A and B are shown apart, each in its own frame.
Chain A
Amino acid sequence: MLRPPPLRALLPLAAVASALPAPAAPHYLREVKPILTQHCVRCHGGAKEEAGLRLDTAANVRLGGASGSTVRTPGGRESLLLSVILDTHADIPRMPYKKPPLGAAEVAVLKAWVEAGALAPDQEEPGRFEHWAYRLPSRPPVPVVLGAPAPWSRSPIDAFILQRLASAKVAPAPEADRVTLLRRASLDLTGLPPTPAEMDTFLADQAPGAWERAVDRLLASPHYGERWARPWLDAARYGDSNGYSIDAPRQIWKFRDWVVSALNRDLPYDQFIVEQLAGDLLPMATVEQRIATGFNRNTQINQEGGIDPEQFRIESVFDRVNTYGTAFLGLTVSCAQCHDHKFDPISHREYYQLFAFFNSSVDDGHGGRRSRSTGNLTLGPDGKVDEGLEARVAEVQEKLEALFTTHAAALESWRQALPAEKRAAQRPASLRAALDVPWGKQSFAQRRSVYPLARPADAEFEGLSGRLAELQRPVPGATTTLVMEELPEPRPSHLFLQGDFTRLGERVEPGTPAILPPLRSAGPRPNRLDLARWTANPNHPLTARVIVNRVWQQYFGLGLVETENDFGSQGLPPSHPELLDWLATEFTARSWSLKALHRLIVSSATYRQASHAREDLALVDPLNRLLARQQRLRLDAELVRDTALTASGLLVPRLGGPPVYPPQPDGVMSLGQVKREWKASTGEDRYRRGLYTHFWRATPHPALAVFDAADGFSSCTRRLRSNTPLQALTLLNDQQFFELAEGLADRVLRERASSPLAEQLAHAFRLSTARLPSALERDRLAALHGQRLAAETGEPRARQRAAWIAVARVLLNLDETITRE
Chain B
Amino acid sequence: MNPRLPSATSPDFLAARTRRHFLGRCAVGLGGIALASMLNQARGTSAAPSSPLAPKPTHFPARAKNIIYLFMAGGPSQLELFDHKPKLVELNGQPIPTSFIEGKRFAFMDSSHGTRLMGTRRQFAQHGRSGMWVSELFPHTARIVDELTMVKSCQATLFNHAPAKLFMNTGSGQFGRPSMGSWLNYGLGSECQDLPGFVVLQSGPRGPRGGAVNWGSGFLPTTFQGVPFRGTGEPILNLTRPTAVTADGQRDALDALRDLNLQRAVATGDPEIATRIAAYEMASRMQSSAPELIDLKSESAATMKLFGIEDQRPSFARNCLLARRLVERGVRFVQLYHTNWDSHGGPGENLQADFETVCREVDQGQAALVQDLKERGLLKDTLVIWGGEFGRTPMGENRDTTGRNHHIDAFTMWFAGGGVKAGEVIGETDELGFNAVRDPMHVHDIHATLLHLLGLDHTKLTFRFQGRDFRLTDVHGKVNHKLFA
Chain A positions near chain B (C-beta within 8 angstroms): 1-2, 243-245, 247, 300, 302, 304-308, 326, 332, 334-335, 343, 429, 432-433, 436-437, 441, 502, 563, 565-566, 568, 570-571, 611-615, 632, 634, 665-668, 670-673, 675, 698-700, 702, 705-706, 708, 711, 713-714, 720, 722-730, 732-735, 738, 774, 776-777, 780-781, 783-784, 787-788, 791, 802, 805-806, 809-810, 813-816, 819, 821
Contact B105–A308 (Cβ < 8 Å)? yes
Some 28 contacts from A to B, beta carbons below 8 A apart, are A2-B269, A305-B108, A307-B160, A332-B466, A335-B467, A432-B400, A433-B399, A441-B110, A566-B467, A612-B267, A612-B270, A673-B162, A673-B206, A708-B222, A711-B175, A713-B213, A722-B222, A728-B279, A728-B280, A728-B284, A738-B244, A781-B260, A787-B252, A791-B252, A805-B245, A806-B252, A816-B264, A819-B272
Q: What CA separation (Å) do A735 and B241 show in the bound complex?
A: 9
The distance from the CB of A805 to the nearest CB of chain B, in whole angstroms, is 7
Contact A441–B111 (Cβ < 8 Å)? yes
Q: What CA separation (Å) do A526 and B175 show in the bound complex?
A: 31
Given the contacts A245-B161, A566-B467, A698-B212, A784 and B253 also touching, CB distance less than 8 Å:
yes
The distance from the CB of B57 to the nearest CB of chain A, in whole angstroms, is 16
Name the residue on A nearest B399 (C-beta). A436
Contact A802–B222 (Cβ < 8 Å)? no
Interface residues of B in 7-34 (CB under 8 A from A): 26, 30-31, 34
Given the contacts A2-B31, A673-B208, A720-B221, A436 and B267 also touching, CB distance less than 8 Å:
no
- Which one of B127-135, B231-239, B378-386, B448-456 is at the A interface? B231-239
Contact A732–B399 (Cβ < 8 Å)? no
Q: What CA separation (Å) do A304 and B242 show in the bound complex?
A: 39
Contact B244–A805 (Cβ < 8 Å)? yes
Contact A788–B211 (Cβ < 8 Å)? no
Partner of B282, one of A306, A565, A725, A809: A725
B276 at interface, CB cutoff 8 A = yes
Partner of A723, one of B210, B238, B279, B468: B279
Which residues of chain B are near A673, meaning CB under 8 Å? 162, 206-211
Contact B252–A784 (Cβ < 8 Å)? yes
Which residues of chain B are near A780, meaning CB under 8 Å? 256, 259-260, 263
Name the residue on B nearest A780 (C-beta). B259
Name the residue on B nearest A300 (C-beta). B175
Q: What CA separation (Å) do A112 and B471 show in the bound complex?
A: 36
Which residues of chain B are near A813, meaning CB under 8 Å? 253, 257, 280
Chain B positions near chain A (C-beta within 8 angstroms): 26, 30-31, 34, 105, 107-112, 160-162, 174-176, 196, 202, 206-213, 216, 221-223, 227-228, 230, 233, 236-242, 244-246, 248-250, 252-257, 259-261, 263-273, 275-277, 279-280, 282-284, 286-287, 346-347, 398-400, 406, 466-468
Contact B252–A304 (Cβ < 8 Å)? no
Name the residue on B nearest A563 (C-beta). B467
The distance from the CB of A14 to the nearest CB of chain B, in whole angstroms, is 23
**A245, A611, A699: which has the most chain B beta carbons within 10 Å?**
A245
Contact A304–B237 (Cβ < 8 Å)? no
Contact A723–B276 (Cβ < 8 Å)? yes
The distance from the CB of B175 to the nearest CB of chain A, in whole angstroms, is 4
The distance from the CB of A443 to the nearest CB of chain B, in whole angstroms, is 10
Contact A634–B256 (Cβ < 8 Å)? no
The distance from the CB of B27 to the nearest CB of chain A, in whole angstroms, is 10
Which residues of chain A are near B284, meaning CB under 8 Å? 728
Contact B207–A675 (Cβ < 8 Å)? yes
Contact A306–B267 (Cβ < 8 Å)? no
Which residues of chain B are near A245, meaning CB under 8 Å? 161-162, 209-211
Contact B272–A632 (Cβ < 8 Å)? yes
Contact B256–A720 (Cβ < 8 Å)? no
The distance from the CB of B428 to the nearest CB of chain A, in whole angstroms, is 28
Partner of B279, one of A441, A725, A805: A725
15 further interface pairs, Cβ-Cβ under 8 Å (given A305-B108, A705-B222, A711-B176)? A300-B175, A304-B162, A436-B400, A613-B271, A672-B212, A675-B206, A699-B211, A711-B216, A713-B175, A725-B286, A728-B280, A728-B283, A732-B238, A738-B242, A819-B272
